[in-house]
């Protein structure tokens, strides 16, 4: 039974790259374009893992992670944050917001799947 990953990213390029890498690895993918949209999607979907960007319009990654953790149904879903290499501070903030782990951008598919496997059952 394939796992479902929710990707939250405002960049179409990044969404498509995630989609390609994840579906090739056998995951089902659900997409959202920003934090607000991500929380909307979570009303209906129950992903096994969430992968989210930080810089997004309407609601950024920090707000989104906090929103997910407040959500009774999804508070225990692993959330991986996409960060740029030098974003030590952001990584820290994401962690405080409740992120499970992170993926360094630009990601390579092996590392991505590896990180997902590491947090997902």
Partner 1 sequence: MAAIKQTFFQECEEQLVELESGLLRMEDGDDDLETVNAVFRAVHSIKGGAGAFGFDELVEFVHVFETTLDLIRSAKLAATPAVTKTLLRASDVLADLVRAAREGGSADAGAVKVIADELNALLGSAPRSDDDDEKVSVESLEFEPVCISLDSIFDLGDADAPSTQDFILRFKPSAGLYAKANETLRLLRELGRLGEMTVECDISEIPLLTELDPEGAYLSWTIHLTTSVSEQQVREVFEFVEWDCELSVETADIGKLLEALQESLEPQEAPVAPAAVAEPKQTIVSAAPPQQSFAAPSDDHPAAAKAEATKGEGSGSVQATIRVDLDRVDRLINLVGELVINQAMLSQRVSEAGLSRASSVVIGLDELEQLTRDIQDSVMAIRAQPVKPVFQRMSRTVREVASMTGKAVRLVMDGETTEVDKTVVERLTDPLTHMIRNAVDHGIEKAEDRIAAGKPEEGSLRLSAMHRSGRIVIEVADDGAGINRARVRQIAVSKGLIPAEANLTDDEIDNLIFLPGFSTASSVSNISGRGVGMDVVKRAIQALGGRISISSVPGRGSTFSMSLPLTLAVLDGMVVTVGGQTLVVPLTAIIETLQPKKESVHELGSGARVIATRNTFTPLIDVGAVLLYRDEPIEATSQVALLVESESGAKCALLVDAIQGQRQVVIKSLETNYGHVHGIAAATILGDGRVALILDVDAIVARPRADMIVAEMPAAAE
Site residues (vs partner 1, CB under 8 A) = 1, 4, 10-14, 16-17, 20, 28-33, 37, 40-41, 43-48, 55-57, 69, 75-79, 84, 86, 88-89, 91-92, 95, 98-102, 104-107, 110-111, 114, 117-121
Nearest 5°: CA angle at 120, between 116 and 121?
A: 145
Judged by beta carbon, residue 64 or residue 102, the one nearer partner 1 is: 102
Nearest 5°: CA angle at 26, between 54 and 46?
A: 55
Cα distances (angstroms) measured from residue 66 to each of 78, 90, 95: 13, 14, 10
Q: How far is the CB of 11 from partner 1 (least distance, A)?
A: 5
Judged by beta carbon, residue 67 or residue 98, the one nearer partner 1 is: 98
């Amino acid at each position: 039974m394939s796992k479902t990953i929710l990707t939250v990213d405002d960049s179409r390029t990044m969404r498509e790259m995630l989609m390609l890498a994840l579906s090739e690895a056998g995951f089902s993918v659900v997409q959202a374009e920003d934090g607000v949209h991500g929380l909307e999607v979570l009303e209906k979907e129950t992903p096994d893992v969430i992968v989210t960007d930080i810089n997004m319009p309407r609601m950024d990654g920090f707000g989104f992670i906090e929103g997910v953790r407040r959500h009774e149904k999804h508070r225990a879903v692993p959330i991986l944050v996409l960060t740029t290499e030098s974003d030590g501070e952001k990584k820290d903030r994401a962690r405080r917001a409740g992120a499970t782990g992170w993926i360094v951008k630009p990601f390579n598919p092996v590392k991505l799947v590896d990180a997902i496997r590491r947090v997902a059952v």
